Structure 1
Amino acid sequence: MKVYAYADGASRGNPGLSASGYWLLDESHRLIFKRAFYNGKCTNNVAEYMAVIEALRKALELLGPDAEVVLVSDSRLVISQIAGKYKVRSPNLKALNEDAKVLLGRFRSHRLLNVRRENEYVSKVDADLNELLDSIEEGGADTAPGPKIHRGDNFQAKI
């Protein structure tokens, strides 16, 4: 099975309050699973990596190593670092980069796509992050790191 993992991170201030999230879609672009979560205070690049790592973990958990994953992000830095096109200079990002590469290596195959933030699905993930951060800033959400989870109607766990 092919899965599309649309991942995004956001930070209000850099560093500042941050959130990460992702949507997992099947080959027909139907929602399998989505999540938005609070990271606390960190940089935008850390938030982007956290989104990628958690998306890959969840895709592996739900679909297993036989899945083909297409990782889609608007972060040129993160996609280029994972692909080995850019060096990872920041000590904070080195471990995250390695985690992402290890997770990608567990899938049957993978592709990395860097898209514009206006991409239909990346913009939906971004809207989820902004909703979560707005709620935190207004005091209406628990600031303990944790998931906002939704399973798509067509979700089928791998047995």
Structure 2
Amino acid sequence: MKLVVHVDGGARGNPGPAAAAAVLSDATGTVVDEATETLGETTNNVAEYRGLLLGLARARALGATEVEVVNDAELIAKQVNGEYKVKHPAMRALHEEALRALGAFDAWTVRTVPRARNADADALVNQALDAAR
């Protein structure tokens, strides 16, 4: 079963209060799951990776064998796809965890879209941050 996994993460300030979110939909575009996670104080890039990891965990829990990950963080997508090196030591562990999680699927893709095309996941991040105040 293939799921489309829209993920996002954000920090208010960098670092600052942060959250991650995922919106999962099936092949017809029907949303089958949503999840958020507050992260305490961290950077935007860490929050973006945590959004990716949250979405992948939810997809596995739903029984997905294939995922199409959609996000608005070009850095994360290019690192995961091997186009950019991961230079920051704190990011290496998250990058490795993401690759392990992706490797559990039979097939996967990670791509970026403009923020407006990732609006549902972005809105969930902001809701989680507003609720944590």
TM-score by length of 1: 0.81
Q: Which runs of 4+ in 1 moved over 4 A?
A: none
The answer on whether the counterparts of 2:35 and 2:54 sit within 8 Å (CA) in structure 1 is: no
Pick aligned residue for 1:74 from 72, 75, 83: 72
Match of 1:25 in 2: 25
AA matched with 1:73 = N
Report Cα offsets for 1:56-90 as digits up to 9, x if no partner: 111112115xx111011100000000001000011
Alignment deviations for residues 15-45 of structure 1 (CA, whole Å, 9 cap, x no partner): 0000000011100111111011100000000
Count of residues in Structure 1 that have an aligned counterpart in Structure 2 = 133
- The higher radius of gyration belongs to 1
SS at match of 2:116: coil
Deviations 1:81-119 (A, max 9, x none): 000100001111101001111111111101111111010
Aligned-residue identity in percent: 36
Structure with more of its chain in helix, by fraction: 2
Alignment of 1:44-123 (within 5 A): 44-64=44-64, 67-119=65-117, 122-123=118-119
- Show the counterpart of 1:147: none
